[in-house]
Amino acid sequence: MATPTDVLTGTALWSKAKRLIPGGNGILSKRSERYLPDYWPAYYSRAKGCEVWDLEGKHYWDFAQMGVGACTLGYADDDVDAAVIEAVRRSVMCTLNAPEEVELAEKLLELHPWAEMARFAKTGGEACAIAVRIGRAASGRDLIAFCGYHGWTDWYLAANLQNKEALDAQLLPGLDTAGVPGSLKGTALTFNYNHLEELEALVAANPGKVGVIMMEPMRGSYPVPGFLEGVRAIADRIGAVLIFDEVTSAFRVNRGAIHHTLTEVRPDLAVFGKALGNGYAISGVLGKRSVMDVAQDSFISSTMWSERTGFCAALAAIKKMENEPVQERLVATGEAIGEGWKALAKKHGIPIGVSGCPPLTSLSFKVENPLALQTLYAQEMLKRGYLLGAAVYTTYSYTDEIVNRFLETSDEVWKILAEALDAGNVVERLDGGVASPGFRRLT
């Protein structure tokens, strides 16, 4: 019997998917419209290292998201896969518990000595929701002050009930609140990163009500001096639980959390995911015993959180990170890509911005229609065998040769970009539409 992949190209299958699956898939970051509308290959048949083959067997080098940032070691890492295959042989599910859950808790607490207890889930969004539940229970207050992106759940989207554009500056613009109870209005309020005065104002306007402060310790830019220290001081002063969301940032610049590199500040809880399992589903919440133990007073439970493969994958990934210079290479290759973009900008006269920590290096074009130019960049690189977005999650599977080839190919493409800018016909050179930066309904 023929399967969809036997008879459809990736673009055709994506069109079919949007008729069968609301939004086409389960994650916004993998929607074709965010990269190259109508031309993005959309589906893979196999992947290894930083190489991807689509449904038609075409080969690409992944300089886009490396599994939405999950695969820092590379796709189908031999060591991680071996640990998971062994777990599968011994059964991934049982009435009894997997001992690797305890082993992983011990390992993560060893890497994060400020923490004393751990709980695990499967996704970053789940772990963020768990952390918020625990934080609210420990503080005894409902109101959350936050900055950054923390997932899809009701508590987060509730910020847009207060102001429909509250989340626009927190990574994703245009998020709707359909299905979020209106009674949650006013329970989650935003402040902007590096603006301590906004958090101070929010706390002052809600005396005695803020129970949780949640934030990414870093995403697009480094903290200004005193910012993280000021947040910690506010949390201590008002008795709020401080949560660092490290789902995206952890295990990239060091073998643990990015806040270890940035500051002496330690949170009450921290959330981990993505790189923790190198593509296998595992996330976790670490924290101080006085806060974490309150989880026993609230019902937080799910069958698949006990599934074995995530624990085994995480342990194997961490072991490899401890034995090999993974983070050093992630940083070095990110710096090389960022400096390469800057050199291309100077050579071709295209104004750009490069931001983020090196293992998550973001490119922005400082031109009249930046999204159109980014789309043209992605289009021309795809024709030359590269998957490309507006940011690169670096991977241990990049070599100097691969990075140099990427920059050499980009040089060829940036000549086209410069010509298009000079001629004023960037949009006309696109084979499809302009990429969409945020959330929008597809059908």
- Reported as a single tens digit per residue, the pLDDT across 138-147 is 999 999 999 9
Residue range(s) of every CATH 3.40.640.10 domain in the chain: 94-306
User: What would the two tokens of residue 403 be?
Assistant: 């990075």
Sign of CA dihedral 321, 327, 332, 334: positive
* Higher per-residue pLDDT: 2 or 345: 345
- E-strand stretches of 210-335: 210-215, 241-245, 269-272, 283-287
Residues 6+ apart with CB under 8 A from 309: 84, 87, 88, 92, 280, 281
**Rg of the Cα trace of the chain?**
22
Across 415-433, average pLDDT: 96
pLDDT at 348 (0 to 100) = 98
Across 17-26, average pLDDT: 91
pLDDT at 3 (0 to 100) = 44
Whole-angstrom distance, CA of residue 406 vs CA of residue 292: 45
pLDDT value at 19 more than 90: yes
pLDDT at 377 (0 to 100) = 97
Residues 6+ apart with CB under 8 A from 225: none
Q: pLDDT grade, residue 175 (50/70/90)?
A: confident
Closest CA to 144 of 48, 214, 95: 214
Across 410-436, average pLDDT: 95
- Read off the amino acid at residue 129: A
pLDDT at 443 (0 to 100) = 56
Q: Tokens 């070691």, residue?
A: 73
* Higher per-residue pLDDT: 94 or 162: 94
pLDDT value at 1 more than 90: no
pLDDT at 167 (0 to 100) = 87
Regarding beta strands 188-190 and 143-147, do their DSSP bridges make them parallel or antiparallel, or are they unpaired?
Answer: parallel
pLDDT value at 439 more than 90: no
DSSP 3: -
Residue range(s) of every CATH 3.90.1150.10 domain in the chain: 4-76+325-429
User: What would the two tokens of residue 218 be?
Assistant: 């870093």
What class does CATH assign to 94-306?
A: alpha beta
| DSSP output for 84-118 | HHHHHHT-S--SSPPTHHHHHHHHHHHH-TT--EE
pLDDT at 172 (0 to 100) = 77
pLDDT value at 438 more than 90: no
Count Cβ atoms within 10 A of the Cβ of residue 90 and give its class: 0-12 exposed, 13-18 middle, 19 or more buried: exposed
Residues 6+ apart with CB under 8 A from 15: none
pLDDT at 302 (0 to 100) = 95
Lowest mean per-residue pLDDT among 76-85, 163-172, 252-261: 163-172
pLDDT value at 428 more than 50: yes
Q: What percent of the chain has pLDDT over 90?
A: 85
Calculate the average pLDDT of the chain.
Answer: 93
Q: What percent of the chain has pLDDT over 70?
A: 97
Report helix angle 78-89 to 308-323, nearest 10. 150
Whole-angstrom distance, CA of residue 315 vs CA of residue 305: 16
* Higher per-residue pLDDT: 37 or 441: 37
pLDDT at 2 (0 to 100) = 36
Alpha helix locations (H) across 150-245?
Answer: 154-157, 159-162, 196-205, 227-238
pLDDT at 442 (0 to 100) = 60
pLDDT at 4 (0 to 100) = 46
**What number of CA atoms fall less than 13 Å from residue 382's CA on the CB side?**
22
Please state, in angstroms and as integers, the Cα–Cα distance from residue 246 to each residue in 148, 217, 327, following that order. Answer: 11, 7, 15
- Read off the amino acid at residue 305: W
pLDDT value at 6 more than 70: no
- Read off the amino acid at residue 188: A
Please state, in angstroms and as integers, the Cα–Cα distance from residue 328 to each residue in 126, 291, 325, 331, 358, following that order. Answer: 30, 33, 5, 5, 10
Which CATH architecture best describes the domain 4-76+325-429?
A: Alpha-Beta Complex (3.90)
Yes or no: say if 351 and 362 are a contact pair by the CB < 8 Å rule. Answer: no
